[in-house]
Amino acid sequence: MRLFRVLVLVGLFGLGVGARAQTGVYAEFTGAKLSSANTAWMFGPTFGLYHDHGLGLVALGFDVRGSVLGRGATNGAGSDESLDTLQVGVRGAVTPHVLPIKPYAELLGGLGHLKTGQGSATTSTNKFSYQVLGGVDFTIFPRLDWRVVEFSYERFQGLGDGYAPKQLSTGLVFRLP
């Protein structure tokens, strides 16, 4: 609880004199792999919006994101797998003004839908999911960043370690004025 109070005070201070705010809209190409054996990679888009308030090198804010990942049936075998999420959470970023990079980390939570397996071993569920992620943005133009790499680890409430997707993403970020 004490950490939460400190974060609120830092966030409120960031809204004051000399603070900068930044909103970004992004689209990424994502690949995800479940931890369980005999599962294939799922691919698709991840998209979202973040808003940061910062002072100096550090910015704190929030992120809202969704992903629609899947792998269609192969050879009619019915191995239709999908991973769809809608999540919101906190975000922290570091902006060293002498370099065109911005490393960031996030903790998100929300609703996730996972469908995997075949026949009687099919798992199809809607559960609370949480995600821990980090990445690096590289500024290409004054308002356009390349999201060079993002790695995330996700868990679904009530599902075991075999249903914990690890995801790799890359994409573009458009920073609004």
Place of tokens 């479940």: 34
Which residues is 135 bridged to in the sheet? Answer: 104, 150
Q: Distance (Å, rounded) from C-alpha 74 to C-alpha 164?
A: 23
pLDDT tens digits along 97-154: 889 999 999 999 999 998 887 666 677 889 999 999 999 999 999 999 999 999 999 9
- 75 backbone φψ class: left, alpha, beta (φ>0; ψ -120 to 50): left
The answer, as to whether pTM is greater than 0.85, is no
What is the identity of the amino acid at 53? H
| Residues 13, 20: Cα–Cα separation, whole Å | 11
Which residue segments constitute the domains of the chain, with CATH numbers given? 2-176 (2.40.160.20)
| Residue 17 burial class via C-beta count within 10 angstroms: exposed 0-12, middle 13-18, buried 19 and up | exposed
**Mean pLDDT (whole number) for 154-160:** 85
